[in-house]
Amino acid sequence: MQAGVYFSVALHIAIAAAGIVVAPTLAAEPTPMVILPVELLTISDSTNVAPVIDVQPEAEIEEFAEEMAEPEPAPAAAPAEEAPEIIPTERAPDSETAPPKSEPKPAPPKEESFDDFLESALKSVKDNKPVRAASQKTAADLRNVEDAAPRKGVGDNVRMTMTVADAIRSQLLSRGCWADQDDMPDAKRLRTVIRIRFDRDGRLMGAPELREPGRLPSGDQPMQIFVQRAQRALDMCNKPRFTVPPEYYETSPAQWIDIEFTP
Amino acid sequence: MRNVHLFIVLLVTAFGAGVPAHAQLRVTVEGVNFQPMPIAVPDFDGASAPAKAVATQMADVIRADLAGSAIFRMIDQTAFIERDLDISLAPRFPDWTVIQAQALVVGNVVIDASGNMVTQFRLYDVFGSKELFAQQYTVPTTDNWRRVAHKVADDVYAQLTGEQGYFDSRIVFVSESGPVTDRRRRLAIMDQDGANAEHLLSGVNSVLTPRFSPSSQTIIYSAFVADARNPAITRLRVYLYDIETGRQEVLSEIERATNYAARFSPDGKSVVMSREKNGNSDIYAIELARRAETRLTTSPSVDTSPSYSPDGRSIVFTSDRGGSPQLYVMRADGGAMSCPNGGTETACRISFGEGNYTTPVWSPRGDWVAFTKQQSGRFFIGVIQPDGKGERLLTESYLDEGPTWSPNGRVISFFREAGPGAGPRLWSIDLTGRNLKRLPTPGDASDPAWSPLLR
């Protein structure tokens, strides 16, 4: 009996051990071999990354370098009353005081150490600074940047609406383009809506469009005059131009604005 | 395949074109701080030396008319950049926008061989760079140059404000002179700007409350006249006076009754007036052709100062039936009417303020009634809507009285005594309460009445 028990225990242990060893090999399928291309680099190549800068075209860099190197030209002598005919002659030599143009000479090739490389990289950063200054953006460029893709948050549309509306209203009133119309007969009933758009310079784009009333009532002279005054108000403030907040240009194409004129 | 693409493109284009642009933003602009419109009126050109002289004078009158309305601000001629304008050529608009002229008037005068004076002018919208109006007037003599100038000013006014002007009109008034104890009150007339003032009557009888007929040819007025039987007694009579012929006649005379405060109806065919009899004043209408009378009020109170509405269907008057003089409106035939405050009455009270409301005059536009108010020893000229709403007091002084409307219902003239002993003078004020100014008269003047526009 006792021998049977030992035999059974030994048999279970043997089966369990066999399962542990054999079962994983039965379940797993063979995975295909993936070959990853690996390029071996020196450490300097992966750690000394050059800064991202706007690289000027080579020609512009040379031109800029020349401008920096050459002295200011001497002021020309006062012209005679009658300018003599200019006769082409041989090209005059450069001023003696002007330093000769220093042709950039390539350094003799030598074996480059890590320290040398680091120094040259830093130097390249310093050398690039004036190039960046020379390429400062104009106001127009800056506006283009702003126009590019501004991120909008919740309420931005409301803010823009308020800003643009206030700006237009304020200019029509403060510049005297639109004033109290109490002199009009039966002024309380008068009201007109004119639709406009602005171009990038703040000028009206195209002719203002009369929206309300749909067309001028031929027998209603006060209303005709009132609409005429509203159109004149836009013409007045359009000369030289409106000052339009940049928010207006966040949408493309330019949004329409309905201006309601009341006495 | 290419055809399919073309079809889709056309479809999208057509759909897009058919959809109206949607405004994403709405701006409401309400006018504040009234500002007169800057306008430039250079001297008119003249084809000859006499024409040039008249042209310059005409431009002066036009400028004075427009600036006097206070609706326009005249730009000084020294500021002009473009000069020697030719009416047949468009002006250089940028030269006028730079001096902020919103409108420009260019004109010339030609006097032909037979003496006819031809006046041409053009009105330009400077900022719109376009012509708004052009007109030509031909008169047989240069003597009428002032009227032509007023007509040009009226045209400009109408084109820029949307309502008719009032410059080619006249004012009849009572010219006063002499000491208080022996005051002469003579009927006089002048242009609305004070020019061409003249007396119409000798001044034997004291005149009061003159009023124009709608044709401006006839004046109705009251006068204290000595009784033919007993010269020691003076009686108040109502006369009709023809300006052209100088002929006049008594309108109506009843024993033991006095007629006064008469006015024409808008069609000029009848007259409405007060008649005092046995201590009671009532309002009567008289048809001029047949002299047929209609009694319009029967109240035991004092009903006086009637004035027709411009459509002739209603009359505003003063009555003390409520205890103190106040303004009432009734139908022109005296029938019952629905009152603004409810109920049906033969006369509806429209003023309810403290003090006395007198001398109501209905505006030619029909939207306001001007009146004199007396309260706490001060006098006011005010306006109120015919339904009793919107009462506003425009002036205040020691004595302001007798309002009369300009033909366009825009300006009110009245007479004022600045203080005790100061003589009466004519003044005017805009309906909005702006532009209070004195009208030039040769001497003391009272009881003004504005004519309709002359024809």
B90 with B192, same domain: the answer is: no
Residue B334 lies in a domain: yes
φ, ψ of residue B353 in degrees (nearest 5): -80, 170
Residue B68 lies in a domain: yes
Give the domain-ending residue among B161, B196, B214: B161
B152 with B195, same domain: the answer is: no
B299 with B177, same domain: the answer is: yes
Cα A72 to Cα B389: distance, rounded to the nearest angstrom: 81
Residue B49's contacts (CB-CB under 8 Å, 6 or more residues apart) are none
**A50 min Cα distance to partner chain B (Å):** 47
Give the domain-ending residue among B114, B129, B161: B161
Residue B455 lies in a domain: no
B336 with B395, same domain: the answer is: yes
pLDDT tens sequence across A35-78 = 444 444 444 343 343 443 443 444 443 444 444 444 444 444 33
Chain B residues bordering chain A (beta-carbon distance below 8 Å): 21-35, 71, 97, 102, 125, 127-128, 132, 158-163, 365, 367, 408-410, 432
B391 with B358, same domain: the answer is: yes
What CATH number is attached to the domain comprising B238? 2.120.10.30
**B158 min Cα distance to partner chain A (Å):** 9
In chain A, which residues have their Cβ closer than 8 Å to the Cβ of B71?
183
Say whether pLDDT at A1 is over 80. no
What CATH number is attached to the domain comprising B42? 3.40.50.10070
* Mean pLDDT for chain B overall: 92
- What range does the domain containing B145 cover? 2-161
The verdict on whether omega for the bond into residue B50 sits within 30 degrees of 0, i.e. cis, is no
pLDDT tens sequence across B9-34 = 444 444 444 444 566 788 999 988 88
Mean pLDDT of A217-230: 90
B81 with B195, same domain: the answer is: no
pLDDT tens sequence across B282-316 = 999 999 999 999 999 999 999 999 999 999 999 99
* Mean pLDDT for chain A overall: 64
- Inter-chain contact B33–A223, Cβ cutoff 8 Å? no
pLDDT tens sequence across A129-160 = 444 344 343 444 434 434 434 444 444 455 55
- Inter-chain contact B102–A173, Cβ cutoff 8 Å? no
- Inter-chain contact A262–B162, Cβ cutoff 8 Å? no
B355 with B394, same domain: the answer is: yes
% of chain B with per-residue pLDDT over 70 = 95
Selected for mutation to probe chain B from A183, A227, A250 (highest B CB count within 10 Å) is A183
Give the domain-ending residue among B99, B130, B161: B161
**B7 min Cα distance to partner chain A (Å):** 25
B350 with B438, same domain: the answer is: yes
The total number of structural domains in chain B stands at 2
**B148 min Cα distance to partner chain A (Å):** 23
CB of A195 within 8 Å of a chain B CB? The answer is yes
- For residue A106, the model assigns a pLDDT of 45
- Inter-chain contact B26–A257, Cβ cutoff 8 Å? yes
B229 with B139, same domain: the answer is: no
ipTM of the complex: 0.70
**Residue B273: other Cβ atoms inside 10 A:** 24
pLDDT tens sequence across B258-285 = 999 999 999 999 999 999 998 899 999 9
Cβ contacts from A onto B, under 8 A: 110
Residue B406 has what DSSP assignment? -
B151 with B235, same domain: the answer is: no
* DSSP per-residue letters across A25-84: HHHPPPPPPP--------HHHHH-PPPP--PPPHHHHHHHHHHHHSPPPPPPPPPPSSPP
- For residue B160, the model assigns a pLDDT of 93
In chain A, which residues have their Cβ closer than 8 Å to the Cβ of B405?
none
- Inter-chain contact A185–B365, Cβ cutoff 8 Å? yes
In chain A, which residues have their Cβ closer than 8 Å to the Cβ of B30?
262-263
Long-range contacts of A101-105 (CB under 8 A, 24+ apart): A101/A66, A101/A69, A102/A69
- For residue B278, the model assigns a pLDDT of 87
pLDDT tens sequence across A74-108 = 444 333 333 333 333 334 334 333 344 444 444 44
Nearest CB to A179 within list B35, B127, B158: B35
Mean pLDDT of B48-63: 97
B192 with B339, same domain: the answer is: yes
B239 with B321, same domain: the answer is: yes
- For residue A247, the model assigns a pLDDT of 86
